[in-house]
Structure 1
Amino acid sequence: MKWKIILFVLSLNIAFSACEKKDISVFSTDDTGIYFQMIRGYYGTNTEVYIDSLDFSFASVQASIRDVILNATVRTMGKVADHDRPFKVVVDKEGTTAMEGVHYEIDVDTVVIPAGESTAYVNVRFFRTDDLMEKSVRLALRLEDNEYFKCYFPEYKNMNTYTTTGVQIHGDSFSFTLSEMYTIPWYWRVIIETDYFGEWTPKKFVVINMVCGFTMADWDRAGGTGAKIIYGRCGFFATMVQKYLQGQADAGTPVLDSDGKYMQLDPDYAVDYSRYE
C-alpha cells in the first residue's frame, strides 16, 4: 500500500513539472539581417512564393529595345533605421559567365537600404548583344556581411507559410540568366519563306521584327483573324525590309546576316550590294 502512495505522489510531481512554465532561449542580436527575396507570385490567397533567380529573353520584347534594367529585391530583418545604410553585394565570379561592360553594367558601390525602409533593389542594366541569339549568359550576385548587416539566411523556404510544402532557395545569392534564342515560327516555315523573306536566320528575324514592329506574339497569332501578320500583307512587309537593308548598304553600313554574309531576302526583294564586290 505504501508503494502505491509513493508512486501516486511521484506521478503528480512529474505532471506538475511538465506543466511548469519554462524560459526558452531565443535568438537576439543588435545586428540586422539581410537577404534576397523576390516574389514570383502567390499560391492561394495568403501564400507568397519566392525565387532566387530570374530568366529573361530579349525575344520577348520588340527588336528596337537595346537594353533592359532588371533588379533583385533585398530585404532586411531587424530594426528600421532613420538613416541610409549601405549593404555589400558583389559579383560572384565563379557563377557568372556574362561579361561586365558587354552584357551588363552594375553599380555595387552605391547600394543602400534607404532611411525608414527595410527593402531595396539592386538594379542591373543588361544589353542586347548578338551572341545572345546563340547562347545564354548568367550574372550571379552575392550578399556579404558589412558593418550594418549580416547574412543570416544562406537558405530559406520559398514560401511564407509553415503549412505549405516548399523547397529551399538561397537567401545570400541571386542570379540572372539572359538570352535571345529563337525558333522558326511555323507561319514563316510553312507559308512565307519561299515567297518573301527567304531562308530564316536569327539575325534576319530580328531585323524584320525591328523594321516591321513585330513581336513574338504577332508571330504566334500569324494568319489568324485580325492578325498583324497575314499572307496578303507580306509583300508590303518584305518591301519595307528591302528598303531598310538597301538604305543601310547605300550608307556604307551593310547589314550582315548570321553567317557573316550580306543579308538578303527572297530574290524578288533583292538588295544591291554590288558596290562591295
Structure 2
Amino acid sequence: MKKYIFLLSVILAFIGCEKEMMDYEGKDGIYFCVQEVPPSQYGNPEIWAHIDTTLLPFSLLLVNDTTVRLKVRVMGPVTGYDRYFTLAVIDSLTTATVGEDYSPLEKQYVISAGERDGYVEFIGFRQEKMLDSTYYVTLQLMENEYFSLPMDIWRPLELKDYTRENQNVIRHVVGLTDEVFEPKAWTTNYFGPYSKKKMKLLCEMFGLQMADFDNVTEMDMERQRVYAQGLDKYLKEMDAKGETVYEDRVDKDGNPVKMAVGPLV
C-alpha cells in the first residue's frame, strides 16, 4: 500500500509541476498571430498555419484599395482595462511608399478590456507600377509600458498546427501587387493553362469576378467544369467563324497561341 501511495504522490506532484510550467509569468507580451485560412475555410482557426507575410493581390481583388486585418495576440492574462500597442515600419526592408501605396499607420492600436487579440487594419492602394512588381511594407511590433516582446519566432508544433516552417512573429510583411497569380479554384484539366486573358474572358461571359475563382467552396469542381464547357463552346464557335481567340503570348516558334480549355472538358 505504501508503494501505491508513493506512486500517487509522485504523479500528483508531476501534474502540479506541469501545470505550473504552463503558466505564463513576467511582463505581458504581444506577437503577430496572423494565420493562413485554408482553401476549404473549415477547421479550427487556432491550428491554422501561422504566416509572416500577407499578400494583397489586386488582380484577384479587383478593387483600387483594400484593407487587411492583421491579428496581434497577448501573451499573458486578459485584463479589465484597455491596453495599447504600437508598430514601426522598417524602412530598410520596405519598398512601398507611405501615403501613395498604403495608408499611414495609426499612432497606437488597442487590445480591448477582456480581449486577448487586437487588430492592425492595413490599407493598401492599387498602383499601375504594381502590374510588374510587388512592393513590400515590413511592420515591427514595439515594446511599451503594457507589453514586452518575449517571443520572436513561432515554431511549428508537430501534430498541433499546420505551420510549415519557423515564422517571425515580431515582424510582419505586407506585399502589394497587381501581378497575375493563378487562383486556388483553377483546375487545369478543366480550364487549361492559366492566363489573365482567359480569366477576364470567363468573367465577362458568366458575370464573375476574379475573386470568385479564389473561393474553392463556391467554385467547386462541378461549377468549374460547367464554366469550362461554356468557354469551350464559345472558343469553337469563334474558331468556326474565322475569329479564333488567341492568348497574349507566342510559342517557341513565334506563333500565336490558340486559347484552349483542359483535356477533361
TM category (shorter chain) comes to 0.5 to 0.7
Q: CA deviation at 1:35?
A: 0.3
Q: Alignment partner for residue 230 of structure 2, among 226, 232, 235? A: 226
Counterpart AA for 2:98: E
Equivalent in the alignment of 1:124: 122
Q: 1:156, 1:51 → 2: CA distance?
A: 9
Q: 1:28, 1:152 → 2: CA distance?
A: 11
Equivalent in the alignment of 1:32: 28
Deviations 1:144-199 (A, max 9, x none): 1100001111112144856988421111011111111238xxxxxxxxxxxxxxxx
Equivalent in the alignment of 2:134: 136
Partners of 1:222 and 1:229 within 8 A in 2: no
Equivalent in the alignment of 1:104: 102
Q: CA deviation at 1:30?
A: 4.4
Q: 2:162, 2:98 → 1: CA distance?
A: 39
Q: 1:168, 1:177 → 2: CA distance?
A: 19
Q: 2:210, 2:161 → 1: CA distance?
A: 40
Q: CA deviation at 1:39?
A: 2.0
TM-score by length of structure 1 reads 0.56
Partners of 2:73 and 2:118 within 8 A in 1: yes
* SS state at 2:54 partner: strand
Q: CA deviation at 1:28?
A: 5.5
Q: 1:163, 1:170 → 2: CA distance?
A: 16
Q: 1:102, 1:45 → 2: CA distance?
A: 37
TM-score by length of structure 2 reads 0.59
Q: When the two structures are aligned, how many residues end up with a matched partner?
A: 193
Equivalent in the alignment of 1:81: 79
Q: Which has the larger radius of gyration?
A: 1
Q: Alignment partner for residue 70 of structure 1, among 56, 68, 71? A: 68
Equivalent in the alignment of 1:48: 48
> Percent identity, aligned pairs only?
24
Sort the Cα spacing of 1:222 and 1:83 in 2 relative to 1 into closer, same or farther, 3 A.
same
Sort the Cα spacing of 1:164 and 1:222 in 2 relative to 1 into closer, same or farther, 3 A.
closer
Q: 2:163, 2:135 → 1: CA distance?
A: 31
Q: CA deviation at 1:34?
A: 0.3
Partners of 1:54 and 1:176 within 8 A in 2: yes
Equivalent in the alignment of 1:146: 144
Equivalent in the alignment of 2:259: none
Counterpart AA for 1:122: V
For residues 91-240 of structure 1, what are the structure 2 equivalents within 5 Å?
A: 91-159=89-157, 161=159, 166-182=164-180, 215-216=209-210, 224-227=228-231, 230=234
Q: Cα RMSD (Å) of the superposition?
A: 4.2
Sort the Cα spacing of 1:165 and 1:89 in 2 relative to 1 into closer, same or farther, 3 A.
closer
Q: 1:218, 1:80 → 2: CA distance?
A: 38
Counterpart AA for 2:67: I
Sort the Cα spacing of 1:163 and 1:223 in 2 relative to 1 into closer, same or farther, 3 A.
closer
Counterpart AA for 2:33: Q
* SS state at 1:143 partner: strand
Q: 1:168, 1:68 → 2: CA distance?
A: 28
Counterpart AA for 1:51: I
Counterpart AA for 2:59: A
Partners of 1:52 and 1:174 within 8 A in 2: yes
Deviations 1:3-56 (A, max 9, x none): xxxxxxxxxxxxx9xx79699795864411100011214699664321111122
Sort the Cα spacing of 1:38 and 1:228 in 2 relative to 1 into closer, same or farther, 3 A.
farther
In structure 2, runs of 5+ residues without a counterpart are: 1-6, 182-195, 214-223, 239-265
Q: 2:118, 2:158 → 1: CA distance?
A: 19
Partners of 2:89 and 2:139 within 8 A in 1: yes
* SS state at 2:138 partner: strand
* SS state at 2:78 partner: coil
Q: CA deviation at 1:224?
A: 3.8
Partners of 1:48 and 1:160 within 8 A in 2: no
